[in-house]
Structure 1
Amino acid sequence: MYKGPGLFTDIGKKAKDLLTKDYLSDQKFSVSTYSDAGVAITSTAVKKGGLSTGDVAAQYKYKNTLVDVKVDTESNISTTLTVTEVVPSTKTIVSFKLPDYNSGKLEVQYFHHHAALTTAVALKQSPHVDLSLTIGTPTFAIGAEAGYETNSGSFSKYTAGISITKPDSSASIILGDKGNTIRASYVHHFDHLKKSSAVAEIARTLSTNENTFTVGGLFAVDHLTSVKARLNNNGKLGALLQHEVLPKSLVTISSEFDTKALEKTPKFGLSLALKP
């Protein structure tokens, strides 16, 4: 296993997860089972407003190959094939979605002690190409990504970022949206297991001179229960409670309020994930 700087998508991921992961505005129920053949099957039902959707996903791993197949209530079939070490230090990912025959994508990730490179190509007549590169170490990393449309000969995106990671903290700065936004974040962990943390993020849109400042945190009440909260300068307050009702099985209750318009109906979400 290479201890390198990680992929470009890892820059700022800790702050993003603390501020967004597990926050819900709908009802979600999922059950996972495992067969003797090593197939993991997960059934999920989601209710958002008056609309209910669902899917069944199966995952099978054999040696260095991982196969994921998902079928939803709209008869869409999503398949992802992941193979590691086809070439040393690489991971190859092939994905497609039926009946959309133009949804296929081939991605190759290359890992080195001081670099990580990804190339993704859409498998269609006029492919879209994504390329990202990160150089550095597990402590310090700098990287960039770009998306290129071959049919128009133009860049659809370009982003650059830098991150500093220490055992008890991490910080990152990302220049995105073709240079129109700057996002800086800082995460501090209060214990070595990272079960209690604080996060702050500021995002500035250069074209409008608009700033968004968000603070949040994670606190472990005990070894089974944790709470999270976040608040931004627009008055949006979110909170969630997550409890392990059974080993590996979680119930999550979340809500979001607009503190500047308390007459508005708050958003509530509920999730129950059962695993054997």
Structure 2
Amino acid sequence: MNQGPGLYFDIGKKARDVLHKDYCQQPPIHFNYRFFDWNLDLSFEEELLHGLKGIFACNIPGSGKLELRHLSRFSGFSASIGLLGEAEKGYNPVANLSGLIGTRILSLGANFAYDLSGTRTTNNLNAGLSLNSPYLVASATLHDYFQTLKGCCYFEVNPLTKTAIAAEVKYDLADDETTGVTVGAQHALFPWTLLKARLSSSGRVGALIQQKLGRKFSITVAGEVNLNEKDKEKFPKVGVFMAIK
């Protein structure tokens, strides 16, 4: 088990897992069959050397990447190259480099993405700070070329039942206003059954139930509805997610 700070994308991960993971999400590029939209996620990893991993991950038909990760006691670095799909522009080759330094308690890092297509421009630039304690995990990250500030917190109520609450706040530094707030919670009814729910300031309400069938297989049923839509357009979205690990 790594005792270091992890990777840049671990900043705010516990809060993101409660608020966003396995909910009804539709990538920009997806397959469609009648009234079904679907995608397939695949990933493989192999330890090349001590502390160095090679990873292949793809979302069919949305994106794919090859990544190298190096973890040490006081740092974590990753470099990847892949294709990122957009509904109108097709697939763009993107290179990504991120680094994180610190300890398991306090860490600071940055992430840099570069568009390798004809534009040859910086695709994204982020930076973040994370504070981890046994029960409270808090983070602050800058996005959109430091124009958006995102704050996340995760509070573990009961580790035995995986009971936890999380919150996320987005703040636009350019316009000096809060652009979104999301709160959520999770609780395991049994060791193999997990419930999650979330509510955002935009009026979106979501919930899911995840059932593990054995050690490596799980199935998730998730639903979401936008309360701000008109009654005629207020249709709930329902999704099914299956994973083999």
Task: With the length of structure 1 as denominator, give the TM-score of the two structures.
Answer: 0.68
CA distance in 2, matches of 1:22, 1:275: 14
Aligned-pair identity in percent equals 28
Task: Select 1:177's aligned residue among 137, 141, 144.
Answer: 144
Q: Which has the higher contact order (CA 8 A, sep 6+)?
A: 1
- Report how far residue 148 of structure 1 moved: 3.1
Contact preservation (8 Å) 1:25, 1:255: no
* Mapped pair 1:266 → 2:226: no
Unaligned runs of 5+ in 2: 84-91
- Report how far residue 97 of structure 1 moved: 10
- Report how far residue 109 of structure 1 moved: 1.7
Contact preservation (8 Å) 2:194, 2:211: yes
Which of structures 1 and 2 has the bigger CA Rg? 1
**Paired residues, what number?**
228
One-letter code aligned to 1:23: Y
One-letter code aligned to 2:148: T
CA distance in 2, matches of 1:259, 1:95: 35
SS at match of 1:190: strand
* Counterpart for residue 62 of structure 1: none
CA distance in 1, matches of 2:170, 2:47: 36
CA distance in 1, matches of 2:162, 2:71: 29
Task: Select 2:104's aligned residue among 121, 138, 149.
Answer: 138
Contact preservation (8 Å) 2:161, 2:187: no
* Mapped pair 1:214 → 2:182: yes
* Mapped pair 1:247 → 2:209: no
One-letter code aligned to 1:8: Y
Contact preservation (8 Å) 1:5, 1:115: yes
User: Relative to 1, partners in 2 of residues 1:207 and 1:166: Cα closer, same or farther, differing over 3 Å?
Assistant: same
Please provide the CA RMSD for this pair.
3.6
* Mapped pair 1:227 → 2:195: yes
- Report how far residue 160 of structure 1 moved: 0.2
1:3-27 superposed Cα distances (whole Å, 9 cap, x missing partner) = 110010111111111111121269x
* Counterpart for residue 164 of structure 2: 197
Task: Select 2:126's aligned residue among 150, 159, 171.
Answer: 159
Task: With the length of structure 2 as denominator, give the TM-score of the two structures.
Answer: 0.76
* Mapped pair 1:118 → 2:78: yes
